Amino acid sequence: MPETVFSKIIKREIPAAIIYEDDLALAFRDVNPQAPVHFLVIPKKPLINLADAQDEDQALLGHLLLVANKVAAQEGLKGFRLVTNNGAEAGQTVFHLHIHVLGGRSLNWPPG
Ligand code: 5GP
């Protein structure tokens, strides 16, 4: 998988506001926030997106959801939304799997 800005953030080659890290995952604030709280949860493993994940990634994918939950609580969010854009057609622009976590304001559904 080619280098992305997120693999460079993992290696600390470019700066980011990192708010959580463990052996498997990293969470950092989105540089262009779409809500008062908007952070991204990524695996350190270089998966392109959800469609790139395999059965062997089951525990890792579950871990990412639990990290999202933990960091949302750390950020004081009661309600929050998770989004993962899978593929360019769905709006994915960085090709390293990431879960957007948005909160801190009312979120309409369905989104515009
Ligand atoms: P996507 O469109 O792929 O679902 O989301 C990519 C997200 O990454 C966007 O919300 C964008 O603002 C964010 N992003 C892109 N480059 C950087 C960066 O260098 N640093 C941070 N913190 N976020 C980035």
Q: Ligand 1 centre and the CA of 4: distance in Å?
A: 10
The pLDDT, as a whole number, for residue 57 is 98
Atom of ligand 1 nearest to the CA of 34: 10
Looking at domain 5-103, does it have CATH number 1.10.3720.10? no
Q: Where are the domains of the chain?
A: 5-103
d(CA 79, CA 56) in angstroms, rounded, equals: 30
Instruction: Give the tens place of pLDDT for each residue, 5-55.
Output: 999 999 999 999 999 999 999 999 999 999 999 999 999 999 999 999 999
Please give the pLDDT value at position 2: 84
Active site residue 63: no
Please tell me the predicted confidence (pLDDT) of residue 35.
Answer: 97
Give this complex's ipTM: 0.99
Would you say the CB of residue 82 lies under 6 angstroms from ligand 1?
no
| Full DSSP string of the chain | ----HHHHHHTTSS---EEEE-SSEEEEE-SS-SSSEEEEEEESS---SGGG--GGGHHHHHHHHHHHHHHHHHTT-SSEEEE---SGGGT--S-S--EEEEESS---SS--
Res 112 pLDDT > 80: no
Model-level pTM?
0.98
Q: What is the pLDDT of residues 74-95, one digit of tens each?
A: 999 999 999 999 999 999 999 9
